[in-house]
Structures are given as structure tokens and as C-alpha cells.
């Protein structure tokens, strides 16, 4: 019966109520987390092998260390982004 009376043209049934609707909230990532990590430049060859310039072992080791450092910075930033996402999703 109630549904029929609510549909009658002469009477409008209204009820005001505050409703909270959960939704995702997106926040911008901090710029320092999304900045490019510069790859270390390949060093100029300082040794000669078979008459051709080549990288010395010490140069290669230094370059590898620089590459590992750049990868470490990227990993730290990705870890920070994951932590930020966890806090926002809670």
C-alpha cells in the first residue's frame, strides 16, 4: 500500500538524510618520488687491448658501483611510493 500512495500525483514523500559514500581518494605523488634517476655515464676508455681502447677493470668496477647506486635510489623511491599507497588505501 505504501508504494502505491508514494506514486500518487498529489502527494510527494521525501526524506532528507546524510549518506556517506566511501570512495577512493587520489593524492598527487611527491615530485621527489617521481623524478628521473640519472644513469651514470659510461666512462671514456683509459686502457688499450689488442690495439683498441677499452675500459679498465677499475673503470668497470666504478661504473658498476654507480649503476648499483642509481638502482638503489630507484628502489628506495618505489618503496616509498608503495608505503604512500598503503597509507592512502587504509
Residues 5-43: tens digit of each pLDDT: 555 666 777 888 999 998 877 778 889 998 999 999 999
- In degrees, rounded to 5, the angle at the alpha carbon of residue 62 between the alpha carbons of residues 61 and 66 is 115
How far apart (Å, rounded) are the C-alpha atoms in residues 89 and 40?
A: 35
Range 50-58 average pLDDT: 95
Range 58-77 average pLDDT: 96
Say whether 54 sits in a helix, a strand or coil: strand
Distance from the Cα of residue 49 to its chain's centroid: 44
Q: What share of the chain is helix, strand, coil (3-state, %, to 5)?
A: 45, 5, 45
Amino acid at each position: 500500500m505504501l508504494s502505491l500512495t508514494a506514486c500518487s500525483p498529489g502527494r510527494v514523500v521525501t526524506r532528507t538524510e546524510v549518506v556517506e559514500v566511501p570512495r577512493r581518494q587520489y593524492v598527487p605523488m611527491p615530485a621527489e618520488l617521481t623524478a628521473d634517476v640519472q644513469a651514470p655515464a659510461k666512462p671514456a676508455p683509459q686502457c688499450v687491448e689488442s690495439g683498441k681502447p677499452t675500459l679498465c677493470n677499475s673503470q668497470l668496477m666504478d661504473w658498476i658501483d654507480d649503476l648499483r647506486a642509481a638502482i638503489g635510489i630507484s628502489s628506495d623511491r618505489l618503496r616509498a611510493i608503495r608505503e604512500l599507497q598503503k597509507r592512502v588505501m587504509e
